[in-house]
Chain A
Amino acid sequence: MAGTTAPRASRRRRPAGRIALNTAGLLVAAFAAFPVYWMIATSLKPNQEIFSSTPRPVPAEPTLQHYRDILTGNLIPGVSFADFFLNSVLVAGATVLLSGLVALLAATAVARFRFKLRTSFLIMLLIVQMIPLEALVIPLFLMIQRLGLYNTLPSLILTYLGFSLPFAVWMLRGFVAAVPKELEEAAAIDGASRAQIFRKVLFPLVAPGLVATSIFSFITAWNELIFALTFINDQDRYTLPVAMTFFFGRDDTAWGPVMAASTIFTLPVIVFFLLVQRRMVSGLVAGAVKG
């Protein structure tokens, strides 16, 4: 901290440079945030404002009509967005539970034990994270067909479990390693069994890490489009992303409802993401950034 005072003082002496820096900062902020703002703003505009030839920067007569249409199913007869929402929540929720449990076991193994294949396992985790998942659509489609899971939500849960697990283990092992080993040893001396130590000492201390990892798994499952598009056939089993692709791409895209659906879809992701982004960075650059 002490080191930063010197350049700050020198910056204060040149107001022109400061203004340039701040302007650049505002431009970057506008470029990054504008599409998100425009999505929300459009979702609140009545149709005549959306399709006017001069777009308004702020909705003149904000309305929740598009949200109401989407959630109550007025848009297309017999199709309710609430159902798609529920499907997405089910799939993402199941993925989170399963991958959290399995990742915790594996992370404990690599963070607490030193065994022969430990390094090989870590290298494998890195490699499988880089597999182009799009390349696995065909063989996974085959597997889902043969298991008789085609056109079911478990087909997606299973697939997303595989996709989220490698990074979840990678992320969680740091949290397990950060729990002081002395605590476990003290519990062991007090006569606690391995299972008790795991449940009463390690688990509560790793819980925040488990939350962060769960959020990552949730986002993975929530955002996925291609597999959901390929594995699900019946409309009432669509997840949100698939349902949304059916609202546009035609000649007369209903932009109002599309933007309302996009907003409903995006906001939870943004909230969750902001909670864990620090962890995501350190997980991805894996030790390259120190301090």
Chain B
Amino acid sequence: MSTLTDTPKAAADAGETPARRRPRVDRLPYLLLLPCLAIIGVLLLWPLGQVVWMSFHRLNNVRQLRGDRAWPWVGLDNYVQILSDPFFRTVLRNTVLFAAANVVLTMILGTLVGLLLNRLSKRMATFVASCVMLAWATPALTGTIVWKWIFDDTSGLVTWLFNALPDGLSQALFGRTDWTGYGWFNSPLLFFTILTLVVVWHSFPFIAVSVLAGLKSVPSELHEAARVDGAGPWRVFWKVTFPLLRPVFGILIVLSTIWDFKVFTQQFVLAGGTQDRPTFMLSIYSYAEAFSPPPKYGLGAAIAVILTLILLVVTGLYVRMVLKQEEE
């Protein structure tokens, strides 16, 4: 890591006029940090504390938020209410299973594409990488809207594709031949499958590009040597590539986990709002409790705290990994 030592100069300055110069040199970095610290403090850390504080109150009225009415303290009531609700278990299961499935799929697809890009000819690799970048650059909002259109029940591409299947085959496999009007988002399982498709489509490019960058830094002589020794691609990957890229994989897995735990926009758009309760995950559950009438801000805050606690554990891992790399 680039260390920026100001010490020799500071010492020289101090030797000159110790009383005046020294504190000035010390204070400047803090002065430069001040606006940044103030903004992060007010807009991120204070609300974080506030959400914990709110989770201990009964807040069901927007006038309480404006400060017109008192906040009754209810202790752990919100948490007790949530944790004893069987629906919360459904939401938690949805969240964990969805995140796990998406992390695994994103990592596998991303790594495979990274390895592929590394082996393609230069022109082909540039072309494929550019296309992959398009998926990554597309905003979550519009990416999801397009997928929703592809799965439209009357004129969507997928509906057309299934209609184009030979009737006998379609009947044998799915028990129906006419797919027009089929509700692709109606069953939770199908909904989560499509949501997974959308999220993986959005997130595998980052993994692929990071893995590719890692591969470029691995001396190719190592792979050659392993191949000369008779190792197949599978063994070369696990015995040579993977150990060398272990730090990259560590960070990518942790980042993906954090992102997939808090998927919101894609779900909100695909479900068309916050009415589809069977497909709720923690972040949308929190939002719906707080903002769907009747508002339950306290309850929503408690759910948000639970989500934050889960992510804090994962973030701890991430910070440790990054710091370890910075030290090297």
Contact = CB atoms under 8 A, between A and B. Distances in A.
Interface of A: 3-4, 6-8, 11, 21-22, 24-26, 28-33, 35-36, 38-39, 42, 50-55, 102-103, 105-106, 108-115, 117-118, 121, 123-124, 126-128, 130-143, 145-146, 158-159, 161-163, 165-166, 169, 177, 181, 194, 219, 222-223, 225-226, 230, 241, 244-245, 248-249, 253, 255, 258-259, 262, 265-266, 269-270, 273-274, 277, 281, 284-291
10 contacts: A31-B201, A109-B32, A138-B297, A142-B297, A146-B66, A162-B44, A166-B40, A225-B268, A287-B328, A291-B217
A127 to B, nearest CB: 6
A147 to B, nearest CB: 11
A16 to B, nearest CB: 14
Contacts of A258: 145, 149
B214 A54 contact: no
Contact of B141 (A52, A127, A223): A223
Given A3-B219, A28-B132, A106 B33 contact: yes
Given A25-B128, A123-B319, 15 more contacts: A28-B132, A32-B201, A33-B134, A106-B36, A109-B32, A114-B3, A127-B319, A128-B45, A134-B304, A135-B305, A142-B50, A146-B67, A249-B272, A259-B149, A281-B206
B195 interface: no
A-B pairs with lowest CB-CB distance, top 7: A162-B43, A135-B304, A106-B36, A273-B137, A139-B47, A139-B50, A29-B131
Contacts of B318: 126, 130
Contact of A281 (B180, B213, B301): B213
Nearest to A126: B319
Residue of A50, A281, A287 contacting most chain B CB atoms (<10 Å):
A287
B157 A55 contact: yes
B36 A165 contact: yes
A254 B108 CA distance: 37
A146 B50 CA distance: 14
B4 A223 contact: no
Contacts of A273: 133, 136-137
| Secondary structure call for the A interface | helix
B115 to A, nearest CB: 10
A35 B3 CA distance: 45
B286 A134 contact: yes
B265 interface: yes
Contact of B220 (A3, A111, A291): A3
Given A130-B315, A181-B4, A42 B43 contact: no
A21 B220 contact: no
Contacts of A32: 131-135, 201, 205
Given A6-B224, A33-B134, A226-B287, A114 B5 contact: yes
Given A35-B143, A109-B29, A114-B5, A135 B65 contact: no
B308 A286 contact: no
Contacts of B67: 146
A38 B255 contact: no
Residue of A8, A103, A118, A286 contacting most chain B CB atoms (<10 Å):
A286
B182 interface: no
Contacts of B121: 8
A112 B190 CA distance: 53
Given A28-B116, A241-B141, A177 B146 contact: no
Given A21-B116, A132-B307, A145-B65, A7 B141 contact: no
Contacts of B206: 281, 284
A143 B145 contact: no
Contacts of B325: 286-288
A248 B308 contact: no
A156 B223 CA distance: 51
B59 to A, nearest CB: 8
B65 A286 contact: no
Contact of B40 (A128, A274, A277): A128
Nearest to A286: B322
Contacts of B262: 132-134
A113 B29 contact: yes
A89 to B, nearest CB: 15
Contacts of A118: 29
B48 interface: yes
Contacts of A42: 149
Contact of A289 (B142, B210, B264, B300): B210
B4 A111 contact: yes
Given A3-B219, A114-B4, A11 B119 contact: yes
Nearest to B63: A145
Contacts of B250: 288
Given A106-B32, A139-B47, A277-B137, A132 B40 contact: no
Nearest to B137: A273
Contacts of B148: 248
A33 B210 contact: no
Residue of A141, A142, A225 contacting most chain B CB atoms (<10 Å):
A142
B40 A162 contact: yes
A274 B321 CA distance: 28
